[in-house]
Amino acid sequence: MNNLSLKACDVVIFGGGGDLAMRKLLPALYHLEMDGLLAPTTRIIGASRRAMSAQDYQNKVRDALDEFVPSSKDNTDIWPTFKERLHYVSVDAQKPEDFSRFNDCHVGGEEKDVVFYLATSPDLFGSICSSLAQVGLNESRMRVVLEKPLGRDLISSRAINTEVKQNFTESQVFRIDHYLGKETVQNLLAIRFGNTLFEPLWDSAHIDNVQITVSETVGVEDRWGYYDKAGALRDMVQNHLIQLLCLVAMEPPGRMDAGSVRDEKIKVLKALRPITGANAYTKTVRGQYAKGVINGKEVQGYFDEEGSNPDSRTETFVALKADIDNWRWAGVPFYLRTGKRLGERYSEIVIQYKAVPHSIFSDESNRQLQRNQLTIRLQPEEKISLTVMNKVPGASEGMNLQPVDLNLSLTEAFQNKRSPEAYERLLLDVMRNDATLFMRYDEVEAAWKWVDGIMDAWNQTSERPKEYASGSWGPTDSMALPIKDGRNWHDY
């Protein structure tokens, strides 16, 4: 680890007492503390409207760690140092006059870098940035981190961006997509560009199709209010799935730095063939979960969730066939699917290679002949496997072939290494001022343009999303999406 990682920072978390802060951000910072990655003078400053003393805040964080990092109870030597870093400033994000309290707390003193993490509603991004600027807290050593959703369409996303840009330059704005912080997602870059083996075969001459699945067992929980205005397309595809698609499809960047990686991703986004009224019917499937059984437990349908509205047409499942119109990917469909209340929680990217051009084996062996497949499993376990054909051992087997997986289990390969949560890596990167794993505005805009086309097409039809039983793999139409092309989804 280089010294930059130990640069002293003030990390100010707006929404500092909220769900994201307690479940993800503070546990991630705590883990960075455990790994010795916080500089001695780094402070963590919770900010929210509620009046609270620093001590109250420390107690709240302690409770959150007990719940979300149970092992922290045993690490008694870490807590005193971490606790000392925790401060609290009561600020109403809509009252500019409150922001001078950050100066009272010497935020950014001693020329420290400052990270303002905006874990709030995006409606507040513009006003927070402008109030920070009014008290001089937008110098070039100060950065803002924006959590999704970055708008609900291109127009609203542009409005947010314009407001933020009035006071912070693009290089100071870190748009977070936590999927980019997942270990296996970064490993995808290592696999592609750290080996000579894969890249020469990474194109339409060798790859038949690519599948990206992010399957969740949870429902919308207590987020109906947010979720019903978003839906699976905006909540998951516009950001997480499209970002994964970009990393699979982009050309090799010249260097692993923010400019080079993001320049390549934007080319992919611009090459995505629009899905509009005319082709949305054949290229997309929407679903809404009904009641069902998951892990042996009965669960309720979307319309039984608290706060639900029976007229809602919001999709909780979406499957898409995306085409990338460039030389490398011409004719290679990218099938994407994601949904809530599906049979299993898992996320994976499957690269399905083409069949051998000519088989030299007998009819019986030919029947066994399967295509090579590279599977990159993001969660729950992190592993990469490559399916290759092998001869079944035994003199009497003749040339009987069978597919065998070459497995790389990251947990086994790196036994003494803890796999960090996505937010750990991303928070460390913001502190180091490295934006490689964050989204530049042109990427967000291009992703919205593509998603808006689909949304418009859906809004033009009177058709409702198809119902699917909780615990299933989504509506049956989703199964048919690759079947229409003579392909299948990779089974879990």
Q: Residue 484, by phi and psi: left (phi above 0), alpha (psi -120 to 50) or beta?
A: alpha
CB burial of residue 403 (10 Å; 0-12, 13-18, 19+): middle
Q: Distance between the two ends of the chain, CA-based, in angstroms?
A: 37
The site that binds ligand BG6 (CB under 6 A) totals a number of residues, namely 3
Q: What is d(CA 371, CA 351) in angstroms, rounded to the nearest whole number?
A: 10
Which residues, in sequence order, are CB contacts of 77 under 8 Å at separation 6+?
none
Applying the rule CB under 6 A, the residues between 189 and 218 that interact with ligand BG6 are: 216
Question: In the structure encoding, which two tokens stand for residue 72, read together?
Answer: 């922290």
Choose among 469, 470, 471, 475: nearest CA to 286: 475
- Least Å distance between CB 220 and ligand BG6? 8
Given the complex with ligand BG6, which of 107 and 230 has the nearer CB atom? 230
Helix (H) or strand (E) holding 379: strand 373-379
Q: What angle do CA 289, 294, 300 make, to 5 degrees?
A: 45
- Least Å distance between CB 216 and ligand BG6? 6
Looking at beta carbons, which residue is closest to ligand BG6?
235
- Least Å distance between CB 312 and ligand BG6? 16
Among 106, 240, 358, 490, the one annotated catalytic: 240
Given the complex with ligand BG6, which of 112 and 286 has the nearer CB atom? 286
Q: Is 240 among the catalytic positions?
A: yes
From residue 168 to residue 187, what is the string marking binding to ligand BG6 with x (rule CB under 6 A)?
Answer: ----------x---------
Question: In the structure encoding, which two tokens stand for residue 449, read together?
Answer: 């343009």
Given the complex with ligand BG6, which of 87 and 178 has the nearer CB atom? 178
- Least Å distance between CB 235 and ligand BG6? 5
Given the complex with ligand BG6, which of 42 and 314 has the nearer CB atom? 314
Which of residues 235, 305, 443, 452 is near ligand BG6 by CB under 6 A? Answer: 235
Residue with structure tokens 């898409």? 320
Given the complex with ligand BG6, which of 235 and 305 has the nearer CB atom? 235
Question: In the structure encoding, which two tokens stand for residue 148, read together?
Answer: 């999704």
What length does the chain have?
492
- Least Å distance between CB 426 and ligand BG6? 12
- Least Å distance between CB 337 and ligand BG6? 14
Q: Check binding of 421 to ligand BG6 (CB under 6 A).
A: no
**Torsion angle, CA of 130/136/139/142, rounded to 10 degrees?**
-70
- Based on its alpha-carbon atoms, the radius of gyration of the chain, rounded to whole angstroms, reads 24
Given the complex with ligand BG6, which of 253 and 343 has the nearer CB atom? 343
List contacts with ligand BG6 (CB under 6 A).
178, 216, 235
| Residues with active-site annotation | 240
